[in-house]
Amino acid sequence: MPVDIITKSAQDVITDVKRTFGDESGVQITDSDIIRWINAAQLEVAMRNPEVLPAMVLINATAGQADYPLLANIPNVLTIQSIHYNNKPVKHMQFQEAEQFLMGEEANYGSTSPDFWYERAGVITFFPPSSETVAAAIKVYYNKRPEVVTSNTLLSLSDHYYNGILAYVLEQAYLLDENPQLAGVVAAKFDQNVTRMQERTATQSDYYPFITVIED
C-alpha cells in the first residue's frame, strides 16, 4: 500500500488550475469555485476508494442497548470497514438478511456479546445486544469523510491523488467554459488516477456500507 504523504494545499490547486486554464486573474473561475470543486473531488475519490482516510474509534457498550446512532458516535464517518466487540470481529449482515434471520429465530438476549450487526438509516444495530456495560468494547474501523478545505489548508488526500484532483477541478472549469472536449479529456485522467490508486490499495475486505448524510 502506498505511503500517504500530504504536502499539497488547496492553494497549490488554485495556482495550477488557473495557470492551466489560462485565467490567472480569476475572471472566469474564482478561488471559491475551485475550493468547492476541490471538496467535491476529494469526496468523490473517497467514495470510489474506501481504503483512503482510514480511522478507528472506540465506543462504550451499554447493557441491553442494540442501537447505536453512527453520526452521534462518529460524526466524520463515510464508510464502515469492520466492527469488533471486545477485540473480536462481529459478523455483518445486510438489513434484509438480518430481518429474515430475526423472524426465523428465537431472540437470544442472554449473550454477553453480539452475534452480528447491521446498519440501517445511519444506525448500527447489534443482535443480541450486550448483556453487560463495557467501556470501549465496540471498536469501529471506518473511513473518514475528507475534511472541508479552505485556501490556507492542506488537502485531506495524499499527494498520490493530486493530479487526479487537478483533473477533476479542471473538468468543472472546462464545463463552466462550455468546452466539453477538454472536459472529457481531463475527466478521463481523473478516472485513470482513481482507478490506478484503487489497484494499489486493493483490500481483502469486501464490505463498505456508505453512510448518507442529509444536508440541512
pLDDT digits (tens, 9 = 90+) for 115-173: 999 999 999 999 999 889 999 999 999 999 999 999 889 999 999 999 999 999 999 99
Q: Is residue 186 part of a domain?
A: yes
Mapping DSSP to helix (H, G, I), strand (E, B) and coil, where does residue 197 land?
helix
Which helix (H) or strand (E) is 44 found in, with range?
helix 31-48
Q: Which of 43-47, 194-198, 207-211 has the lowest mean pLDDT?
A: 207-211
Average pLDDT, the chain: 88
Cβ(95)–Cβ(120) below 8 Å: yes
Q: Is residue 130 part of a domain?
A: yes
57 sits in the region (left: phi over 0; alpha: psi -120 to 50; else beta) called beta
Last residue of some domain: 111, 144, 177? Answer: 144
Q: Is residue 210 part of a domain?
A: no
- Kindly give the interhelix angle for 31-48 and 10-21, rounded to the nearest 10 degrees: 110
Statement to judge: residues 86 and 115 lie in one domain = yes
Q: Which of 12-26, 134-148, 151-165, 177-191 has the lowest mean pLDDT?
A: 12-26
Task: Of 192, 167, 213, give the one whose Cα is nearest residue 41.
Answer: 167
Please name the residue that has the C-alpha cell 475534511: 147
Q: Is residue 24 part of a domain?
A: yes
Domains identified in the chain, total number: 2
Statement to judge: residues 64 and 140 lie in one domain = yes
Residue 214 CA, chain-centre distance (Å), reads: 15
Q: Count of CB atoms within 10 A of residue 126's CB?
A: 22
Cα separation, 212 vs 2, in Å, equals 28
Statement to judge: residues 180 and 190 lie in one domain = yes
Q: Which of 27-31, 91-95, 115-119 has the lowest mean pLDDT?
A: 27-31
Q: Band the pLDDT of 215: cuts 50, 70, 90.
A: very low
Which pLDDT score, from 0 to 100, does residue 101 have? Answer: 87
Last residue of some domain: 144, 168, 188? Answer: 144
Cα separation, 106 vs 143, in Å, equals 34
Q: Is residue 60 part of a domain?
A: yes
Q: Band the pLDDT of 212: cuts 50, 70, 90.
A: low
Q: Is residue 213 part of a domain?
A: no
Range of the domain at 122: 54-144
Statement to judge: residues 70 and 25 lie in one domain = no
Statement to judge: residues 63 and 128 lie in one domain = yes
